[in-house]
Amino acid sequence: MQTIRTNLRLTAFFMAILMGFSSIWASTAAAGVVGTGELLSEQRVELDRASLLSMLEQEEVKNQLAAMGVSQADVEKRIQNLTPAELSAFEQQLAEAPVGQNSVVGIIVLFLLVFVITDMLCATNIYSFVNCVR
């Protein structure tokens, strides 16, 4: 009987050590390594959002939004909900746009046109006057 208890203690000790090592190994393997590219792309998305939001603070943009009947809060909400792919496509259009006073207004008009198209495709419901095509 004594030898069985000794063997059980040894087995329990060995199993406890084995479980400890396996849990440490599993936690480090599950965590994974974040690559530099992934980290940079996440930071780039946040910088792009911040630049778009700062563009909304310009007076001529505010005036153009008011003339179109769109609230600045709706546009800010939509910018926050853009996927990284949509945001990068929009930033690419910004980079290709001509530089000048009318370019900012043109970009905002383009952005609002994207809103109308997404309303027509039933992806969003921003404008009440746009009917869904489905």
Residue 34 has pLDDT above 70, yes or no: no
Mean pLDDT comparison of 30-34, 72-76, 87-91, highest-scoring range: 72-76
* One-letter amino acid of 109: V
Q: pLDDT band for position 7 (50/70/90)?
A: confident
Q: For the chain, give every domain's residue range.
A: 51-120
Q: Helices (DSSP H) in 33-83: which residue ranges? A: 36-55, 59-68, 72-80
User: What's the angle, vertex CA 94, arms to CA 93 and CA 95, rounded to 5?
Assistant: 90
Q: What is the mean pLDDT of residues 2-10?
A: 82
Q: What is the mean pLDDT of residues 94-107?
A: 66
Q: What is the mean pLDDT of residues 31-48?
A: 72
pLDDT of residue 2: 78
Evaluate whether 112 touches 104 at the Cβ level (below 8 Å). no
pLDDT in tens, 109-133: 777 788 778 877 887 777 777 777 7
* One-letter amino acid of 134: R
- Give the pTM: 0.46
Q: pLDDT band for position 101 (50/70/90)?
A: low
CA distance 103 to 101: 6
